[in-house]
Amino acid sequence: MIWIYDLPQWLLCIFVVGLYTVTSLIGSALLRPWVRRNASGQPDHNDMIGNFLSAGGVLYGLLLGLVAVGAWQNHSDAEAIVTREATRIAALYRDVVSYPEPHRRELVSLLDDYVRFLIEEAWPAQQNGEVNLGGAARISAIFQRLGEFEPVTPGQAALHQEALRELNAFYEARRERLDAVNSGLPESIWYVVVAGSALMIGITWLFSIPHRSMQLSLTLFLAVSMGLMVFLTVTMDHPFRGRTSISPAPYELVRDQLLGSLNALE
């Protein structure tokens, strides 16, 4: 169901919570007559069901909490990778603007081309779960141009070594981002989450409460709570997918810096 990441966040919330809500209300309405017939004459019926719900709820709550934390950690790591790559590009720009002409203009132009490609082409591809490898040729061009520079003073030699170091660090951050494009929770965990929530909601259907509205309200409360937790986990899983993906804002700041530098060189 990877298509759900193409929905706006508010619509995704309504979809997930609504799915849990509608399912819980339909199941409760269908099973209520059968439960009422079989629970009559058993005063400890609700106590027994409540004990099952308490025990299962503790286990499922721990599982859902750990899954949500894992998804949040994955999302935070992806944001850190994006920030690290953008920072490395900015640091490399800081070095190359100190190169003599024509290397300075050419290197800044190559960096600007890479950042524009990243924002305008690579990022939309990432939101569709695809990895655009067009950046490799652009990075190779930067490597080649830096390799052609021959320092003539000790200061230029130190600057050149620093630029090469930043370029390698930038390349490593890029590799980390590409590896994280399709990162997410394993399918087996989602099977357990969905099956567990279905069992928890199903147990509420077995309560025998005289007031129909009260039983529906309790079932609805549990369904909405679970739906919100699952929605939260879904939005953080696959951090580069769909409309809820990580923003390319760090790269846009670098692009503005590069554009200003190119205008100043003209």
- The pLDDT tens digits of the residues spanning 53-98 come to 888 888 888 888 888 888 888 888 989 999 999 999 988 888 888 8
Measured CA distances, 238 to 85, 126, 196, 227 (Å): 19, 10, 22, 18
Residue 80 has what pLDDT?
Answer: 92
For 129-157, write each residue's pLDDT tens digit: 888 888 889 899 998 988 888 888 888 88
Please write down the long-range contacts of 122-130, taking CB distance under 8 Å and 24 or more positions apart.
Answer: 123/248, 123/251, 126/181, 126/240, 126/241, 126/245, 127/5, 127/240, 127/241, 127/242, 127/243, 127/245, 128/241, 129/2, 129/181, 129/182, 129/238, 129/240, 129/241, 130/181
pTM equals 0.79
- Tell me how far the alpha carbon of residue 59 is from its chain's centroid: 26
**Rounded Cα gap, residues 42 and 135, in angstroms:** 70
